Structure 1
Amino acid sequence: MASAAITLAAEAPKLSAANTGFMLICSALVLLMTPGLAFFYGGMVRVKSTLNMLMMSFISIGIVTILWVVYGFSLAFGTDKGGLIGWTSGWVGLSDIGTADLWDGYTIPILAFMVFQMMFAVITPALISGALADRVKFSAWALFVALWATIVYFPVAHWVWGAGGWAFELGVIDFAGGTAVHINAGAAALGVILVIGKRVGFKKDPMRPHSLPLVMLGAGLLWFGWFGFNAGSWLGNDDGVGSLMFVNTQVATAAAMLAWLAYEKIRHGAFTTLGAASGAVAGLVAITPSGGAVSPIGAIAVGAIAGLLCAMAVGLKYKFGYDDSLDVVGVHLVGGVVGSLLIGLFASGKGQSEVQGLFYGGGLDQFWKQCAGVFAVLGYSLVASAILAFLLDKTIGMRVSEDDEIAGIDQAEHAETAYDFSGAGGGAARTSVTAAVGGESKKVDA
């Protein structure tokens, strides 16, 4: 029989139960990061602000989840409109998405991708809250979250990850959120605190963390959940890139923690638990955009550089006078910038793409692309967030009263306190109880 060239049509992707299950697990891990962030921030504030800090993260879960289903997913990942925003009317309320519809050439359902990205959208505004500790009305914060997610996060997510988004088309690399999540949140935090001002007693009163064990618990939950955040962003692991990202996440985080602690020891004379937790988060932030593009040795470099620079950056608030309560600018903005730009130097060409950085013979082409993405997101988020904060402050007011701030925002905004000391200490606390004495009801001290 004569041979003949036969062209076979490319086989359409089929749903993979393994990849789908993996993505659902990763989505749950990313959701866990928001309560982890709540504990991390909650331990870093004074006792009187603990519950407020927890609630500022938890409310983001409620608000952003609903917005994402109603229109956020469509704005971020719908059909491109001019490189700036997406929109697919059938995705509003997820109305026209079938349970078996696959996501854009992948082997997972659209709904699995949607819920994974939902968790990114949830945690990003929650990150901002750490900069605003002790002084923001809860109602104003909730409205800010809704507006910021709509005006800032959803469009920026489209720029970076949406098909047709200008940064995506330019070739800006952001594996899991260095620009869209961390630079975005860090710049927003800076914009808001420049509008609302400093806490009462900033640079005068001690504002030490009230529970370092809670900080370490939160950092541990973040580290654990971050594997879903990072490795899941490859949407499957058929070619091993997700495994590379998993390894690099661990390696960079360890390097950053050690670098931060070394800086602390040299600069301040001690290895602190707060430094260990903050250094780990700095490493997680920096490897988020770069982990799919660098080798494990490159990840060590990225983590160590980020740990050192973020440790140095957290002190800038005292030099320049902006009150970034829990170092969101120093860790997330600086860490996101460092991790994103270092792709232009350390990209190996053997991970998510063949792009090579300067140290691997690729020149500075990718570095300039990274600069474009970094500074566009930084500038847009900074300005838009400052405008939103200004408008809210001039209408409903962003800050609690000075008396409420001094007395404690937990009691003023939530009518609760984190800890009940009324029965502690034996004789130190005295309460009145009613007891029957000689047939009469009398009040006695117990």
Structure 2
Amino acid sequence: MFKKILIANRGEIAVRIIRACREMGIQTVAVYSEMDKEALHTQLADEAVCIGPAPAKNSYLNMENIINATLLTGAEAIHPGFGFLSENSKFAKMCKQCQITFIGPSSEIIDKMGNKAEARKTMMEVGVPIIPGSKEPITAAEDGIDIAKEIGYPVIIKASAGGGGKGMRIVNSEEEFINSFKMAQKEAMNSFSDDHMYIEKYLVNPRHIEFQILADEFGNVIHLGERDCSIQRRHQKLIEESPSVVIDEDLRTRMGDAAILAAHAVKYTNAGTIEFLLDKNKDFYFIEMNTRIQVEHPVSEMVTGIDLIKEQINIAFGNPLEITQKDVKITGHAIECRINAEDPDHNFRPSPGTIENLHLPGGNGIRIDSALFCGYKIPPTYDSMIAKLIVYGRDREEAIKKLRSSLGEFIVQGVKTNIDFQYKIINHPKFQAGNVDTHFVQELMSEEEN
């Protein structure tokens, strides 16, 4: 097994990885920007190396500095977490060239599945259902109009190399297409340095369902069931749960088989997520694959008892999966709330600052993934997510009760948070009935305005 792993990330995911490594008897190296010198992950790791100034491009996205820190400390592997360099094929290739194990798939697979148009093409070839849309990436708005006419409005314009809701626009008519296309394309270029776009049929009021997979180097692939990620704001997930209230055993088997087929199609290794949209007729369509650990991985861990970070490390070391599909049992119900330092009353603007008082909820079936501590200064430079609250119950009703209790006990003073907004979501009759889709949050906000 690896003796030392460098974590090329920050915040709660860095802390999560450090804790898994500790349990496995593996030493850890934290990297940090000048702004993160006193951050929790730097204090928990066995070693810590500064890799540059606060801006991410000069630190957490600085590939050369991270590689140098790895070589300097003698770490054998790098865990990228999520975000930053986790889906950067150039970085994965650099690791290989420097004989450092990248805890994730190969650069070739990242390239293949990171490009949405290429991923769609691959899924079509193996028979995984996809949403009707462009077969190849496009750069001209006129070509997009022709495709939209063929598949019918509404359509969604997406950045081919994108993610996280960047470079996306929903278009309801030809009159608004060109302007929307240019805006999405400009955003894609600014975010990903790539102006290739693709067009998809826009499904009205779908659910966002994703399947967690694990795949080793010996061709073994399993799935750990689904996560329902339909509670979103501007394509950013807020609440995730497992299992989904609308997935029965037959549909779970069919979607799980499709997820495994998708992984086999690209000879995938390590942890990954196959994301689908599910329409009102229970028809499902592949939308993308995330070639990394997900923010919401804890809910899968809670209902299966499988530690995904440890599995990632074991697979990267070259060990075969010890778990078969028959071993995966989904028990109970788990829900995760993302706690963000933001102000919902002012268009969710980020709220950096110093944590003056902090009380984290606890109890049976309550898990907090966070890097917060009293006196910690939340920087304005990075993502606003400061904690994940995960609850586990015997069933969904019990999980919701635990979530309500835990949110009421969760105190963060010194900055604004979305805790009260999350409380409104879980107390809404539609959420409690499981009757939600990807437009639920938008509808909730409209209700409050009226």
Rg larger in 1 or in 2? 1
User: Given the two structures, how large is their TM-score scaled by the length of structure 1?
Assistant: 0.29
The structure with more helix, counted as a fraction of residues: 1
Looking at both structures, which has the greater relative contact order when contacts are Cα pairs under 8 Å and sequence separation is at least 6? 1
User: Given the two structures, how large is their TM-score scaled by the length of structure 2?
Assistant: 0.29
